[in-house]
């Protein structure tokens, strides 16, 4: 991975997005559905794109919104639709476009008051709370966000009645019908003016902020945090939770300092990520330079990405924790401090998360359920309580309420952040210190990830990697114990390949949201062993990319 010279520094003026041009392109540029890159395409987290290259424009949003309306009719989903936006520049116009379609189709829509931004977990929480105890008239939702992606990007995600990210069968249906509408020049799209949509009897205001904030003590021990006087710092990174954090501090009387409430759609206050792009990624040490510099001012500090479904934890003892370290520490703490969770409640992890989680699970006597990349794989388990925790290596997680009931079925960046303070309040140790205890007991893994540009055609090849392409019986000097193209936890296709040994593994897969591929690797035997794993993994990927169809 080549680190850009700007990484970790504030962005120069010339790399900031021209927001006026970006929004103009949203309305003026018309995608050509005959070009693959300009069609609606749902990845692991909805449709994402950029208005300059005609991959996220008004036509896309109108078509997707109409397709969702038709899907709702087909499935007899006739309760309210909860909708919210993050602080990306394209989110606001996308909300306008979608409301014009939703209102024209007679959908009961719930929007935040006075244009308030809405974190992804607040929408999942709202859907689940509304649907509790109901069997008909169920609610669903739309989240308008490209997550932590650069300021020029837009994103549009559908959450069905289970409150979580839509499964592939749903997104494929919506994708196909949206593209058919694009191909037909949007003739099948129903639409009224934005002014009429706001005044429509089906458009309602919903207080996402207070409904979410006032319920937080059902999932986090707020009394313990307050009584212990834990000094917390939070950087919302200019994202959708910018007004939630002050409300949390006030509601629960916490010693919580909000570092900034600035919202600026250029995100000029962000330090540049590893590749020279502005990216609101709370797990990146380059993007998190501002908060890392303040680590000694607080007992614990944290940040969330733009839609607040990812977390970053900064401790005085170690700085920014790698996501896998914090997931391991959080799991270790939760399953020993939630007495009302069922004894057979399991741990959910993605196949590219650390093997340390498996070792922690074995120590706790809890089953570990390993699934493909994508939070949608945890939804059913969180709903029925069979999973107490679902976590992704990319710093996304959610977990059950203290009583063992479902909290959210989408990633929630706020509760892992607050959990880090609860850990200090209850144990007197920060999560990084807890992780070091685990590493001393069970071995200390090191990890790395390679990512590089890949065309859609190359990504398609990578997604079809097969066990037969691994000719060797060993990896980095150890016997191969498994070659996987399906996840062991649910037998679902992983869209790539994972190779494991006793003390290491790698997984290769294309990104579902960006034109890149990723190789994840981990070793419990040190840096040289890890490098050997990566080198051999790279050879396999190179061979796949160069192969002829």
Active site residues: 147
Helix ranges, 297-449 (H): 323-334, 355-364, 379-384, 414-427, 431-442
Burial class, 129, CB count within 10 angstroms (exposed 0-12 / middle 13-18 / buried 19+): middle
Q: What does the alpha-carbon distance between residue 219 and residue 12 come to, in Å, rounded to a whole number?
A: 41
Helix axis angle, 19-28 to 91-104, nearest 10°: 30
- Asked if 129 and 208 touch (Cβ cutoff 8 Å), the reply is no
177 vs 175: CA distance, rounded Å: 6
Burial, 276: exposed, middle or buried (Cβ in 10 Å; 0-12, 13-18, 19+)?
middle
Strand duo 387-392 + 346-350: pairing: parallel
Classify 300 in phi/psi space as left (phi over 0), alpha (psi -120 to 50) or beta: beta
Number of other residues whose CB lies within 10 A of the CB of residue 43: 16
Q: Cα(300)–Cα(522) distance, rounded to whole angstroms? A: 27
Query: Starting at the edge strand that comes first in sequence, how are the strands of the sheet with 346-350 ordered?
Result: 368-371, 346-350, 387-392, 396-399
The token pair that represents 291 in the structure block: 């908060």
Please choose, from the candidates 349, 357, 399, 355, the residue with its C-alpha nearest in 3D space to the C-alpha of residue 374: 349
Q: How many Å apart are CA 543 and CA 220, to the nearest integer?
A: 48
| Tokens linked to 283 | 């797990």
CA distance 526 to 444: 9
Instruction: List the one residue out of 8, 21, 9 whose CA is nearest residue 265.
Output: 21
Q: Give the list of residues 6+ apart from residue 503 with CB closer than 8 angstroms, or none.
A: 443, 478, 523, 524, 525, 529
Q: Is the dihedral of CA 186, 187, 190, 196 positive or negative?
A: positive
Distance CA 495, CA 266 (A): 34
Residue 223 to residue 363: CA distance in whole angstroms: 29
Rounded to an integer, what distance in angstroms lies between the CA atom of residue 46 and that of residue 144?
9
Q: At what angle do helices 244-252 and 414-427 cross, to 10 degrees?
A: 30
Compute the distance between CA of residue 345 and CA of residue 366 in angstroms, rounded to an integer. 7
Q: Helices 414-427 and 323-334, interaxial angle, to 10°?
A: 60
What pairing do the DSSP bridges indicate for beta strands 516-523 and 504-510? antiparallel
């Amino acid at each position: 991975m080549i680190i850009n010279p700007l990484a970790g520094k504030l962005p120069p003026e010339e790399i900031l997005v021209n927001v006026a041009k970006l929004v103009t392109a949203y309305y003026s540029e018309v995608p050509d559905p005959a070009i693959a890159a300009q069609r609606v395409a749902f990845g692991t987290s909805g449709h994402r794109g950029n208005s300059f290259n005609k991959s996220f424009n008004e036509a896309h949003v109108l078509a997707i919104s109409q397709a969702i309306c038709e899907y709702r009719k087909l499935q007899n989903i006739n309760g309210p639709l909860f909708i919210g936006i993050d602080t990306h520049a394209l989110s606001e116009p996308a909300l306008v476009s979608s409301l014009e379609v939703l209102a024209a189709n007679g959908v009961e829509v719930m929007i935040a008051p006075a244009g308030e931004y809405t974190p992804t977990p607040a929408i999942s929480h709202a859907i689940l709370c509304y649907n509790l105890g109901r069997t008909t008239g169920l609610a669903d939702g739309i989240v308008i966000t490209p997550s932590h992606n650069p300021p020029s990007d837009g994103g549009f995600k559908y959450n069905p009645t289970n409150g979580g990210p839509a499964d592939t069968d749903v997104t494929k249906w919506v994708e196909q019908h949206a593209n058919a509408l694009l191909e037909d020049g949007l003739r099948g799209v129903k639409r009224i003016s934005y002014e009429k949509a706001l005044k429509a009897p089906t458009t309602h205001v919903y207080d996402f902020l207070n409904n979410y904030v006032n319920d937080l003590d059902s999932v986090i021990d707020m009394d313990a945090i307050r009584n212990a006087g834990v000094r917390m710092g939070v950087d919302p990174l200019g994202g959708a939770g910018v007004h939630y954090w002050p409300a949390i501090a006030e509601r629960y009387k916490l010693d919580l300092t909000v570092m900034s409430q600035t919202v600026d759609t250029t995100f000029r206050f962000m330090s540049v990520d590893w590749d020279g792009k502005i990216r609101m990624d709370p797990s990146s040490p380059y993007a998190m330079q501002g908060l890392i510099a303040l680590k000694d001012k607080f007992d614990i500090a944290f940040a969330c990405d733009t839609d607040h479904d990812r977390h970053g934890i900064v401790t005085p003892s170690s700085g920014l924790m790698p996501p896998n370290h914090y997931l391991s520490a959080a799991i270790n703490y939760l399953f020993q401090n939630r007495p009302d969770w069922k004894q057979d409640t399991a741990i959910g992890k993605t196949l590219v998360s650390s093997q340390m989680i498996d070792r922690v699970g074995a120590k706790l006597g809890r089953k570990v359920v390993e699934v493909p990349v994508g939070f949608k794989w945890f939804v059913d388990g969180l709903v029925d309580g069979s999973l107490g925790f679902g976590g992704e290596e990319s710093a996304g997680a959610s977990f059950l309420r203290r009583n063992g009931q479902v909290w959210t079925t989408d990633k929630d960046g706020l509760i892992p952040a607050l959990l880090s303070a609860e850990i200090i309040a209850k144990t007197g140790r920060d999560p990084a210190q807890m992780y070091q205890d685990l590493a001393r007991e069970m071995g200390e893994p090191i990890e790395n990830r390679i990512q590089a540009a890949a065309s859609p055609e190359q990504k398609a090849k990578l997604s079809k990697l097969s066990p037969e392409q691994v000719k060797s019986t060993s990896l980095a000097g150890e016997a191969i114990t498994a070659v996987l193209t399906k996840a062991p936890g649910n037998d679902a296709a992983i869209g790539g390949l994972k190779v494991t040994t006793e003390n290491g593994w790698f997984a290769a897969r294309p990104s579902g949201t960006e034109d890149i591929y990723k190789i994840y690797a981990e070793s419990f035997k040190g840096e040289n062993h890890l490098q050997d794993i990566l080198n051999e993994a790279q050879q396999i990927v190179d061979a796949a990319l160069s192969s002829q169809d």
